[in-house]
Amino acid sequence: DGSSFVDESMVTGEPMPIEKNAGDAVVAGTINTTGSFTFTATKVGAETLLAHIINMVEAAQGSRAPIQALADKISAVFVPIVLALAVLALAIWLLSAPTLGLAIALSYGLTSFVGILVIACPCALGLATPTAIIVGVGKGAREGILIKDAATLEKLHQVNIVVVDKTGTITKGKPELVRLENFSRLPDEKIISILAALESKSEHPIAYAVAEYAKAKNIPAETVSGFAVIKGKGLKALVGQTEYFAGNIKLLADLGLSFDSNKIAAETSQGKTPIMLASATEVIGLVMVADAIKPEAFAAVNDLHRLGIRTVMLTGDHQNTALAIAQEVGIDEVVAEVLPDDKLKKIKELQDQGRIVAMAGDGINDAPALAQADIGIAMGTGTDVAIETAGITLLHGDISKLVKAIRLSKFTMRGIKQNLFWAFIYNIIGIPLAGGLFYPIFGWLLNPVFAGLAMAFSSVSVVSNSLRLKAKKL
């Protein structure tokens, strides 16, 4: 019983309220924006959509396997091998006692034994990964990229497909006035002033868009009286002695005013909402309200393509709207009119194809997909649920930071590989030198003091190489 407009952004992610009339379903947790109605609860507790979303998030988070660092695997066998080599070197020197004499053989043997233990200290191996990760995470924070754990930073560079939500990720997530058409002799500023006055009495998000536009343009709202809501169609009020009407095409029909609906059909199919302004005798003008694309989205998608990464948009919005925005931004694939579990299924489908998937979103409806993706990326302007679920948070909701995060991961992993390479080369050269392998040929036998200095130098070189990441431009 009754009718209203309901904000279903929790489920669909779309900012525009949906008209609800008798017989329509409403979801628990959504927001009634205007009007009033009586409803019957058909599902409660664990059967509700919100409970279903929570269960999907928990299941996806629980299925994620931890990443074990390469350096940890190496360190597990490194120490026993080094001890064995040190003992072997001592034994070989002692076997040469008949030739060198017991005192000299024992002296050289102990020197080699201690030298190997000192020079082969696994500090460089132990520092190779954590120093690069610490510097990488710190640089990310300075760039507005908050990284939850090292595993996320390690895996991000492997991503080959990025899935994005539309609202709040590619678009700003709130309606904006994008166009004005004037059919009268009134100045454009006068039309905005009248509309701002009428819409100031409404709590509808579209009304907020008109008010914000007027405020940005420093256009004062007219003084109104006799304000009244025309349910499902718009509103009316007196400005001076003239009664003005603001609303949809249905309102014009009630006033007996004709208007070519084809004029705006193409734009409404792309997600734009018209607000008509009329008097009792004529159509004065219209404004188009839409969820505007973020300015940085164009460059971000282009940069992802340059990195060889495919892009997919998942949205609860209409197909035509999603396709129009995707085409404008340059996104490769669009899946529209999806619910949270549909987004989750799409992520699993891509993973089954062998893709490494990053998912970027900002709403409760994105949480299951964020949890399932190999890398979950939340907009800092989004919901707490999305931020908690994701492994990376982009402050200020800037999608261009995603490209920087991927580059940061590439630089960090390159630094780790360089560190590990240096640590291996150092040990490959240092251990034979300390063990006396070159003594019979060149007479070289490394003093434990110099072995200690070499060990310290290897650690310093690894840390210095990691710190170079701070100077990298993302």
| Cα gap 169→402, rounded to integer Å | 11
Q: Is residue 62 pLDDT above 50, yes or no?
A: no
Tokens 């800037």 locate to 398
CATH number for the domain including 317? 3.40.50.1000
In percent, the amount of the chain with pLDDT more than 70 equals 88
pLDDT-derived band at 188 (thresholds 50, 70, 90) equals very high
Instruction: Give the model confidence (pLDDT) of 321-350 as tens digits.
Output: 889 899 999 999 999 988 888 999 999 999
**pLDDT at position 266, please?**
73
Q: Among positive and negative, which fits the CA dihedral 357, 360, 364, 366?
A: negative
**pLDDT at position 70, please?**
61
User: Measured between alpha carbons, how far apart are the two ends of the chain, in Å?
Assistant: 56
437 shares a domain with 347: no
**pLDDT at position 138, please?**
87
303 shares a domain with 222: no
| Cα gap 441→59, rounded to integer Å | 63
DSSP 336-403: -S--HHHHHHHHHHHHHTT--EEEEE-SGGGHHHHHHSSEEEEETTS-HHHHHH-SEEEGGG-THHHH
With respect to residue 365, please indicate whether it lies within any of the assigned structural domains: yes
Of the two residues 180 and 229, the one the predictor is more confident about is: 180
Identified catalytic residue from 1, 24, 165, 291 = 165
Instruction: Give the model confidence (pLDDT) of 244-286 as tens digits.
Output: 999 888 888 889 988 877 777 777 777 788 889 999 999 999 9
Tokens 């008109």 locate to 210
**pLDDT at position 459, please?**
83
165 is catalytic: yes
For 178, other C-beta atoms within 10 Å of its C-beta total 16
**pLDDT at position 10, please?**
55
Rg (CA), the chain: 33
261 shares a domain with 157: no
Cβ density class 231-242: b for 16+ within 10 Å, e for less:
ebbbbbbbbeee
Look at residues 10, 35, 62 and tell me which one is the last residue of a structural domain. 62
- Across all residues in the chain, what is the average pLDDT? 82
With respect to residue 344, please indicate whether it lies within any of the assigned structural domains: yes
Q: Residue 377 forms beta bridges with which residues?
A: 360, 392
**pLDDT at position 53, please?**
53
Q: Is residue 446 pLDDT above 60, yes or no?
A: yes
Of the two residues 98 and 189, the one the predictor is more confident about is: 189
Range scoring the smallest mean pLDDT among 102-106, 158-162, 449-453? 449-453
For 79, other C-beta atoms within 10 Å of its C-beta total 13
CATH number for the domain including 207? 3.40.1110.10
| Cα gap 223→238, rounded to integer Å | 8
Q: Is residue 224 pLDDT above 50, yes or no?
A: yes
Of the two residues 364 and 377, the one the predictor is more confident about is: 377
pLDDT-derived band at 16 (thresholds 50, 70, 90) equals low
413 shares a domain with 397: no
In percent, the amount of the chain with pLDDT more than 90 equals 26
With respect to residue 135, please indicate whether it lies within any of the assigned structural domains: no
**pLDDT at position 195, please?**
92
With respect to residue 372, please indicate whether it lies within any of the assigned structural domains: yes
Q: Give the total number of structural domains in the chain.
A: 4
For the whole model, what pTM was predicted? 0.74
Q: Residues 368-372: what's their mean pLDDT?
A: 90
412 shares a domain with 402: no
pLDDT-derived band at 12 (thresholds 50, 70, 90) equals low
**pLDDT at position 43, please?**
74
**pLDDT at position 56, please?**
46
Instruction: Give the model confidence (pLDDT) of 373-386 as tens digits.
Output: 999 998 887 777 77
Domain range spanning residue 119?
A: 74-130+408-471
SS3 237: strand
| Cα gap 103→97, rounded to integer Å | 8
**pLDDT at position 121, please?**
67
Q: Is residue 61 pLDDT above 50, yes or no?
A: no
